[in-house]
Amino acid sequence: MRKDRILVIGANGQIGTVLTAALREHYGNNNVIASDIRANNDDNSPFELLNILDGERLSEIVKTKKITQIYHLAAILSASGEKNPRKTWDINMNGLFNVLDVAKDHAIDKVFFPSSIAVFGKTTPKYDTPQHTILDATTIYGISKDAGESWCQYYFLKHGVDVRSLRFPGVISYQSMPGGGTTDYAVDIFHKAVQGQNFECFLEKDTMLPMIYMPDTIRATCELMDAPAEKIKIRTSYNLAAMSFTPQEIADEIKQHIPNFKISYKPDFRQAIADSWTATIDDSEARKDWGWKEAFDISKMTKDMIIQLGKKYQKKQMI
Ligand code: AKB
């Protein structure tokens, strides 16, 4: 059996930062190569500069670093994507093609591709959204993820590439910041609350969206990737759920720890994006096929976020 050698593409992003650290814990520091379009000067761990549109450079990294697994996290998200749809399509689709082609040509063992609740749209059932349902994305990000899911399945069926995927809800984390998403408010709100500031939300108070805490996000990814191939029955992308809440519900939860916290609402263009997505997700296929179960609900996550960010800001003040 060959030794696992992992390439994380988009390693400086919100999920990439935490996933890279988790994979290094598991596979050993030097067996996990981080890569991103921006340099990372934080430590001396293996890092390669990579623009995902540069297929030759990707191929060279895969060859020279003897890569056996790829986690492809580089993408432009929903809100940023609307500002430059053609560029978003180019990066999200051609980046994926480069990854799928390199996986096929270099007999990569496994590939991870994150999809999103952004594949759902106005005509998708809003509550308990089933695994197999209408995908009616209206953002260019959602359209690219929908097409990406089908391309992943195509490379699996035609070329035997073992590509696995999850439809991520909004990801909430204290370790890293999201960028350019519609669910980003659910991270910003904690930073403001912990610093004793008020928060102006760009979504209406009753906009319910599916969310997941970072530890569950990482565990879901690793459990999916570690599952025996025969257990992976869905080769487009698995629905994944942990919790769903509205801005008002998360603000009320935060107030239980920080009673003076205040939220106000000033919806912008992201409201239409959020309105097009679904509110709660049926992820029974993931639970049945590879045993998914979340560990964090809204109250456990809120408590942990406040503790962790409290420590972070306290440390900053001491520097
Ligand atoms: C976004 O808001 O665009 C992302 C997502 C739900 O995929 N966080």
Residue range 15-28, pLDDT digits in tens: 999 999 999 999 99
Kindly give the distance from the C-alpha atom of residue 79 to the centroid of ligand 1, in angstroms, as a whole number.
8
Instruction: Look at residue 106 and tell me whether its pLDDT is greater than 80.
Output: yes
Instruction: Look at residue 1 and tell me whether its pLDDT is greater than 90.
Output: no
* Ligand 1 atom closest to Cα of residue 169: 6
Kindly give the distance from the C-alpha atom of residue 317 to the centroid of ligand 1, in angstroms, as a whole number.
31
- Measured distance CA(31)–CA(16) in Å, rounded: 16
Could you read off the pLDDT of 177-227 as tens digits, one per residue? 999 999 999 999 999 999 999 999 999 999 999 999 999 999 999 999 999
Exposure of 268 by Cβ count < 10 A (0-12 exposed, 13-18 middle, 19+ buried)? exposed
- 143, 127, 162, 139: which is closest to 239 by C-alpha? 127
Q: What is the pTM of this model?
A: 0.97
Q: What is the pLDDT of residue 40?
A: 76
Kindly give the distance from the C-alpha atom of residue 143 to the centroid of ligand 1, in angstroms, as a whole number.
13
Specify which residues 210 forms β-bridges with. 244
Kindly give the distance from the C-alpha atom of residue 98 to the centroid of ligand 1, in angstroms, as a whole number.
22
Average the pLDDT over 129-143 and give the result: 98
* Ligand 1 atom closest to Cα of residue 114: 7
The residue whose CA is least distant from atom 4 of ligand 1 is 181
Percent of the chain with pLDDT over 70: 99
**Torsion region of 241: left, alpha or beta (phi above 0 gives left; psi -120 to 50 gives alpha):** beta
**131 is written with which tokens?**
């695994």
Average the pLDDT over 36-59 and give the result: 92
Query: Which residues have C-beta atoms less than 6 Å from ligand 1?
Result: 77-78, 116-118, 141, 168, 170, 181-183
Residues with catalytic annotation?
Answer: 141
Average the pLDDT over 281-299 and give the result: 98
Could you read off the pLDDT of 263-274 as tens digits, one per residue? 999 999 999 999
The residue whose CA is least distant from atom 1 of ligand 1 is 181
- Measured distance CA(236)–CA(213) in Å, rounded: 23
Task: Work out the pLDDT band at 281, boundaries 50, 70, 90.
Answer: very high
Could you read off the pLDDT of 150-174 as tens digits, one per residue? 999 999 999 999 999 999 999 999 9
Task: Work out the pLDDT band at 318, boundaries 50, 70, 90.
Answer: confident
Average the pLDDT over 95-123 and give the result: 98
* Ligand 1 atom closest to Cα of residue 81: 3
Could you read off the pLDDT of 216-272 as tens digits, one per residue? 999 999 999 999 999 999 999 999 999 999 999 999 999 999 999 999 999 999 999
Q: What is the pLDDT of residue 226?
A: 98
Domains, the chain, with CATH or none: 6-169+214-239 (3.40.50.720), 172-209+242-278+296-318 (3.90.25)
Tokens 């609900």, residue? 297
* Ligand 1 atom closest to Cα of residue 79: 3
Instruction: Look at residue 51 and tell me whether its pLDDT is greater than 80.
Output: yes
Kindly give the distance from the C-alpha atom of residue 181 to the centroid of ligand 1, in angstroms, as a whole number.
5
Q: What is the pLDDT of residue 316?
A: 79
Exposure of 56 by Cβ count < 10 A (0-12 exposed, 13-18 middle, 19+ buried)? exposed
How is 205-264 classified by DSSP, letter by letter? TT--EEEEEHHHHHHHHHHHHHS-GGG---SS-EE--SEEE-HHHHHHHHHTT-TT--EE
Mean of the per-residue pLDDT values of the chain: 97
Cβ pair 107, 160 in contact under 8 A: no
Cβ pair 85, 136 in contact under 8 A: no
Cβ pair 282, 241 in contact under 8 A: yes
How is the chain classified by DSSP, letter by letter? -PPP-EEEETTTSHHHHHHHHHHHHHH-GGGEEEEESS---S-SS-EEE--TT-HHHHHHHHHHTT--EEEE-----HHHHTT-HHHHHIIIIIHHHHHHHHHHHTT-SEEEEEEEGGG--TTS-SSSB-SSS-----SHHHHHHHHHHHHHHHHHHHH---EEEEEE-EEE-SSS---S-STTHHHHHHHHHHTT--EEESS-TT--EEEEEHHHHHHHHHHHHHS-GGG---SS-EE--SEEE-HHHHHHHHHTT-TT--EEE---THHHHHHHS-S-B--HHHHHHH-------HHHHHHHHHHHHHHHHHHHHH-
Q: Which residues contact 81 (CB under 8 A, 6 or more apart)?
A: 88, 92, 139, 140, 141, 144, 180
Instruction: Look at residue 41 and tell me whether its pLDDT is greater than 80.
Output: no
Probe target for ligand 1 pocket from 73, 76, 78, with the most ligand atoms within 8 Å of CB: 78
Instruction: Look at residue 319 and tell me whether its pLDDT is greater than 80.
Output: no
